[in-house]
Chain A
Amino acid sequence: MSNTARQPEVIAYDAGGTMTDAFIVDGSGNFVVGKAQTTPDDESRGLMESTVDALGQWDTDTSTAFPSIVSGVFSGTAMLNRLLERKGANVGCLVSGGLEDYLRLERGLQTWLGMTYADRLHVTTHYHNEPLVPRKQMHGIRGRIDVQGREAIPLYEDDVRTAVESLLEHEVDGIVICFLQSFVNDSHEALAAEIARAIVTEAGRPELPIFVSSELYPLRGDFPRLNSTVIEAYAAEPSRHQFRRLQDAVAGAGAGFDLRIMAAHGGTIAIDSRELARTLVSGPIGGVVGAGHLAEALDINRVVCSDIGGTSFDLALINEGQLAIRQTPDIARYLLNLPMVEIESIGAGTGSSVRIDPASSRPEIGPDSAGASIGTAWPEGNFETVTVTDLNLVLGRLNHEYFLGGTVQLDIERARAEVKRQVADPLGLDLDKAAGGVVDLFEEQLRYAALARVLAKGYSPLDYSLFCYGGGGPLHVAGYTEGAGYADVLVPTWAAGFSAYGCACGDFSYRFDQTAGIAISSEDPAGTTAKLDQVWGKLKERALGAFASSGIGADKVQLRYLANMQYSGQLNDIEVTANPDNPTDTSELISGFEDLYSRLYASGAASPELGYTITSLALVGSADVAKPVLPDEEETDQPPEPKGERPVWWTQTEVHVPTPVYEQDDVRAGQTIVGPAIIEAPATTFAVPPGRQARLDRHRIFHLSETSD
């Protein structure tokens, strides 16, 4: 299909561990996905190869296409891998005197973060992270600011000098400064930074970066603040050079756009942003951002985003069009204070292993997974444990002759034998019933996990539409939405490339947070307003400054004001969006808070008699960028044509029944596929069980519903 008239406008990259996807969108919203192997030593090669692959599908090349591209976004795992593989920079730290052991002690919870229910209880499995900064390069600086910002002990300036000199001897690549309570009063950190700056300049290293926690991540919580600042120096700063290399590569190929990076808060930021650790997690964010964009385009207010890959099931919520944010997320067993799109990851995906516990005859799914080895059906993968994929093959829901478009040869008989031996026999069930039962259990766990998120927000599933994407999503979506009662279930035909699509949808936006500790006083409303004005003013300055360095003027920036509030004395807070026209109106903030609170925690938990405190303020500034528009096809009234038929075992039938199989590309807008049916594409398979149907709308999104009769 050649189309020389295409004008690529947006390009987005998702550089995963093995493959780099390039997602290119033209002016009419048509898109194409190019793939290449990720090249970890120099990501720009994989990036350009995937671009060439994508553009080739449109019969064009970079020199022709790049000049017309106005927006480019990158997301990747290199920074995270740098952290996981401990290949970061040589960092030195100045911490409050006596806390030199902080990275060894950690917080106890970092020894069990991210573990399964069983392992969290099972204390012998817990372990400490290897410190990112060697103990010798952790220097304590005497001096203390107290919880109210008063100076309890003045800064021992000589401690700073000795420490920085020692760090210079250790040839550090960067110096982190993080003192207790610096987010309340930054004077000690600022003074230490000034002294350090003078010493490194004198030593002939004026370019040596100094990372000051109160400048970068000024939020309460010394340990997550230290982690974030250390990771900024350790993993993010070295990545900046890599990002610049990517920028050089696209610029060299004729691009006029500045590559932006997907950040944890769900917007994209410039390569030169000061807080680059915000991009530590970017890939999984992309899918959620894409779902947000889709929701906006389709005018859907509340969405459950669900993504099934080989190893995990990721869930996120969109409420009132906004992505839910977690203030202190944990990433790779580190507690951070970088506000991040709240994604709950359950360690169960299509590659998860399936075992029957010998003591209790209980089926267990995951937490380990076959990864790229698929399962027992692929002998070359050397994975001896049955996986969810094996079960799907046994049931006929996956086509062993069309796995990844037929590029991988699978041994279905081996899968059958192993499922029988490892699963069916120990359960005392026949092969199909056991395979079907465990897939049901898998889907039930996903179904419940998704529902629990909705219910925990105080809503009903009827208030939400569910979006399904990821390579494994369409195969299980019918199962994990069955009977749940969502308003709608949407499966885009480009589900398998959704993360890269999502990156292309990212706003250019910055988010800045600051711990404030403002008690809302009814006696002095003007005083409260003034304090709010002051903090938001400071954040606004930072946001506009960040845009200005990308050449974007204040008139092009939209601002969103957020307040994290609590009943005075609580430790948790809730994010309330302020009225943009009058953000400091405290009565509006209070009613917004009360409304959310009663929804979250049942009305009996309301405690207005304690008064209200605004713990921290945030400000999100965003600027318009070009984004993909949705495909728009004429709907047809022709009936769909299957490409063939195969026996598939469905829970509803409890036997294999002849099931029509459709090629996804052949399905046209307006057509309804009535279950039982299988819709296949090279990268994904959509299972429509009996009693369900999928209608393809004009945007090439399937809507899964119950059959009307």
Chain B
Amino acid sequence: MAITDQPALTPLQQLLAEREQQFSETGSYAGLTGELPFKRSDPILFEKIFSRLRGGLVSARETALNISASPIVKELGELAFAFYTPEGDSVALSTGIIVHVHTMSDVIKHIIREGFEENPGVNPGDVFCNNDSMIGDVHNADVQTIVPVFRGEKLVGWVAGVTHVIEIGASTPGSLPLGPISRFEDGLDIPCRKVGANDELFRDHTQGAAKGTRMPRYWMLDERTRLAGCLIARDQIERLIDDIGEEPFGEFCREVIEDGRRTFRTHLATMTVPGRYRAPAFAEMTLGHEERMPTHARVDTLMHAPVEMRITSDARLELDFEGASSWGHHSANCTPSGMQGALWVLLTQTVLANDKINDGAYYAISTNFPPGSWSNHQNPQASTGSPWRFLIPSFTGLLKGLSTGLFARGFLEEVLAPYAMSANTFQGGGIDQYGNQASVTNFAMSCVGGGGKPFADGLDYAAAMFNPQGDMGDLETWEINEPFVFLGAAVKASTGGPGRFRGGSGWESLRLCWGTPFFEVQNMGNGAVTMQSGLWGGYPGATGYRHNIRGTDFFDLVAERAPYPVVDGNTEESAMLLVSGERDFDQRTLTMPEAMAEGDLALSPFRGGSGLGDPIERDPQSVADDVEGGYVIPRLADSVHGVVLNDDGGVDEAATEARRAEIRSSRESKSQLTTDWMKSERERILEHGADASGPFEVQVQRMYAESMRLSEQWAGEFLSFWDLPEEFVFQIPTPTVDVSRKLIAGRDPHELQRQPRTEVREEVPRPAPSGDPAVTTETLEALIDGKLPDHQIRQIQGGRKDIERFAINLEIVQRRWPFPEDRVLLPIGLHLCIVELPDGRRVTKSDSGFVFGDYRENWKLTARVRVRGSFEEMYEIYPEKMSPNPGWNVLREYYDPINFTLLDVESVPPGYPVVHDFLPDLEGFYRDWLGQPLADEGSVG
């Protein structure tokens, strides 16, 4: 090969460059602007090919999962297969962990960009493997197998499969290691390599990989699962190409991606409102007391995810994490690929569920994951062993934003308050009951509580953010893998966030260590912060805690046939107190693995989703039912819901009414005008001086300092919100920020973000009215009033989303609005609307009649606020040991100043600026999206 200054591009590199250029110039995938010729001329064939392609991937998945030994794969479905174009864009994918629809696209593009075609070569029958999150993955435990599809000499696409392996050989056992503080401890590392040829794996790879994990058998069978699935899918795709021809197939693939892009925009234009949505989220890493960590990693970290979602006036989605805190010496750092994964998994469960899923939507979305932050660490040495610890909390913000938009458009059936954290998880390793080396991550965490809905409680203990098809598996199957016997698994009271509709409940399981000479177990949960927020006055779900006992008298109890605990139950009357021993019963929920011996007890309390609406508006009978059913501890029926129960558990209606009135008046006395409170909070911020002195705890100060040092923009907003002097800083060291600055200095910001960009603006897609709305006024009113039978709700949820919905909903809201002289323009919460007053002003107003002011201003500033900043106040809402730690996380309650209805609860660290949840582009929406321009403001009156 001749040496030239400009190495010639390989054919795939040329293709990739061409695609990126086409997108940048036209804003469309593969430059497909205008009508899609294939789809236009033969819409039926187009659909047939898609259903066959997807069918092939689904059946490959269903077949291959039987090969695995891992309950995570076989029972819980943690695997997925997808098909990609030659240049690496996903065309279709199976069910499963759809997180990976785009991660593997990044890997294929890496293969192309790095010139693998020339060395080590890309040939028919080759097998590639990757688990490197810097290249394209979430974390090492998600292992990917990639196989090219050829027709003769020509590469026509790629099939890729991923499984979540149960053990990855990290510095601590399991698949979500929370021990690593650098990538060198993340375990087995395969940074995109060729690992096989002629459809067979290389022996040096299989042998080397088997040595890299604690559970080689699981690794080996998972690898065979992925390869077999890829080969099965490849065969079916080859057959499909034989049937329809290579050219039409290629044309189909390009069109179906562009079609996916357009459909996504049409969904946004049908179901949301343009504007800015904000919903920050927080997570903790509590390693400050962990003596086994090196000093630089022995810190408490508060992660800041300042999630801002924008829906542009031309119906694209922008997701912006500007102001995110820095990466850290822990395992929860993320890469853009991982962030994309989390974004996908959420979109496909919500606005995209009913349609084609592929990389099309990726091209309709743009993201900002700030380099140097935890969301895009850019540090070749940082660990990404367990990024879900941050991903899961941070994407609650996206869900909140989407729900706000969906509600405003009248799609109530899709609105969800945020889901729960998947914790506390049981993870560990040692010697199992057969005497073998073993390690386990119990994926029962894929069943936690879902968020409340505007007409019903959240789904109890059945799904997880990362997998809508959650399952806890059979206990008898887990007992094959763990040297523990289950003592019980039960509903956990008061885990779901209180609200008019509560969050889905969590549950707990208790294990007895049994039949092992040595096994160490790690606690993985959140105890300091709630992670998620509630919606419209609903509270976030409770935090986690730990309750483990070592050196117990368990078998003494058994010998006497005395009752032993089967679960922990109400933390205020903990059943586990029946057992004596060395007890860890606190909210330090993240620990390094600690050895357990026969007779020791380990608790896994799984969390509940967040609530929706003011809890004192909850139907009192539902509260009574929840107490009776063990979903709420009795004490909280009164303090949270104002429901007074009789001795027989029934509702005392008169007393309840009185109690609720009392709560409203106590809200009045305990709250103040938000702007007044802001003055005192500002003073507290200003108290922070040299050497981290001041009222905020160190981790809170560090979080602010990191965000402000990494983002001038965010620092500017913080300073201006609190009206602080320009020179104000939190004087606390942020060593990782300095590393980041060096790492990203001089690098191309575009390349750091990795996502293709376009400046092209498009017309807003305006789907034609169906003429036959899927939901009538009558049905929608029944849904709003909670009177629609469940099967009909599901029909609506799975049904068509048509453009008529907005008008149908708006008519209902207007008719019910207590002030007929107002024109309702946009519903933005259960009690709040943007209305046009008779004098022509457009304001945010509550149904009590309170006018909060111009709709572009944050209504919370003119509301009344109460800040819960002590444990005592937290215990009015949560059981003891299940509340946020006010040093990390306060609850700010915003009330209607007329009737003291709770309108919103912010779950944020002290000193956080008041969140402006939603700033709609109201004029643009009416003008460009609805085609019904509003008159000039004020001209009406």
Contact = CB atoms under 8 A, between A and B. Distances in A.
A455 B236 contact: yes
A142 B564 contact: yes
Interface stretch (A84-92, A113-121, A243-251, A408-416): A113-121
B487 A181 contact: no
B44 A445 contact: no
Given A570-B67, A601-B66, A222 B475 contact: yes
Contacts of B227: 602, 604-605
B770 interface: yes
Interface in B543-562: 558, 561
A632 interface: no
Given A102-B489, A604-B224, A438 B472 contact: no
Given A97-B487, A108-B462, A604 B201 contact: yes
A441 B350 CA distance: 26
Contacts of B349: 121-124
Contact of B561 (A98, A156, A355): A156
Given A127-B790, A572-B74, A122 B468 contact: yes
Interface stretch (A360-368, A389-397, A586-594): A360-368
Contacts of B567: 98
B151 interface: no
A152 interface: yes
A140 interface: yes
Most buried by B among A104, A368, A567: A104
Contact of B490 (A101, A154, A221, A601): A101
A205 interface: no
Contact of B477 (A144, A221, A362, A438): A221
A569 interface: yes
B472 A122 contact: no
B487 A98 contact: yes
Interface in A463-503: 483
Interface stretch (B157-165, B322-330, B445-453, B748-756): B445-453
B231 interface: yes
A124 B558 contact: no
Contacts of A120: 95, 468-469
A437 B790 contact: no
A706 interface: no
Contact of B450 (A98, A123, A444): A123
Interface string B224-265: 110110011001100000010000000000000001001100
Given A104-B491, A357-B355, A127 B459 contact: yes
A111 interface: yes
B567 to A, nearest CB: 6
Contacts of A105: 447, 461, 472, 489-491, 507
B881 to A, nearest CB: 20
B621 interface: no
A330 interface: no
A489 to B, nearest CB: 19
A332 interface: no
A602 B231 contact: yes
Contact of B447 (A108, A116, A150, A156): A108
B662 to A, nearest CB: 33
A607 interface: yes
A112 B46 CA distance: 29
B479 interface: yes
A437 B475 CA distance: 48
B459 A147 contact: no
B547 to A, nearest CB: 15
A112 to B, nearest CB: 6
B199 to A, nearest CB: 6
Contacts of B472: 105, 107-108
Contacts of B771: 421
Most buried by A among B51, B474, B770: B474
Interface in B36-67: 39-40, 43-44, 47-48, 51-52, 54-56, 58-59, 62-67
Given A98-B487, A127-B794, A368-B795, A359 B468 contact: no
B228 A122 contact: no
A126 interface: yes
B802 interface: yes
B59 A452 contact: yes
Contacts of B39: 361
B512 A222 contact: no
Interface string A531-558: 0000000000000000000000000000
Contact of B798 (A108, A125, A456): A125
A1 interface: no
A272 B11 CA distance: 72
A198 interface: no
A152 B67 contact: no
A215 interface: no
Interface string A354-392: 010111111100011000000000000000100000000
A221 B473 CA distance: 9
B432 to A, nearest CB: 10
Most buried by B among A154, A357, A428: A357
B507 A98 contact: no
Given A601-B67, A605-B224, A456 B59 contact: yes
Contacts of B460: 104, 128
What bracket does the count of chain A residues touching chain B fall in? Answer: 35 or more
B471 A108 contact: yes
Nearest to B353: A122
A180 interface: yes
B447 A154 contact: no
A108 B488 contact: no
Interface in B767-800: 767-768, 770-772, 790, 794-795, 797-798, 800
A427 B471 CA distance: 39
A420 B648 CA distance: 61
B221 interface: yes
A219 to B, nearest CB: 10
A600 interface: yes
B270 A359 contact: yes
Contacts of B228: 601-602, 604-605
Nearest to A362: B47
Interface string A205-225: 000000000000000111110
A221 B355 contact: no
Interface in B182-234: 199-201, 217-218, 220-221, 224-225, 227-228, 231-232
Contacts of A124: 349-350, 413-414, 416, 450, 453, 459, 797
B266 A111 contact: no
Contacts of B267: 359
A571 B353 CA distance: 30
A449 interface: yes
Contacts of A181: 476, 479
Most buried by A among B69, B217, B350, B462: B462
Contacts of B485: 144, 146-147, 152-153, 180
Query: Closest 5 interchain pairs by CB?
Result: A98-B488, A98-B566, A122-B353, A572-B66, A437-B44
10 contacts: A99-B488, A101-B507, A111-B462, A119-B797, A120-B469, A127-B790, A140-B488, A448-B52, A456-B63, A601-B67
Interface of B: 39-40, 43-44, 47-48, 51-52, 54-56, 58-59, 62-71, 74-75, 95, 98, 199-201, 217-218, 220-221, 224-225, 227-228, 231-232, 235-236, 243, 259, 262-263, 266-267, 270, 348-350, 353-357, 413-414, 416, 433, 446-447, 450, 453, 459-463, 468-477, 479-480, 485-491, 507, 510, 512, 514-515, 558, 561, 563-564, 566-567, 629-630, 767-768, 770-772, 790, 794-795, 797-798, 800-803
Interface of A: 96-102, 104-109, 111-112, 116-128, 135, 140, 142, 144, 146-148, 150, 152-154, 156, 158, 180-181, 220-224, 355, 357-363, 367-368, 384, 421-422, 427-429, 437-438, 440-441, 444-445, 448-449, 452, 455-456, 483, 567, 569-572, 600-602, 604-605, 607, 610
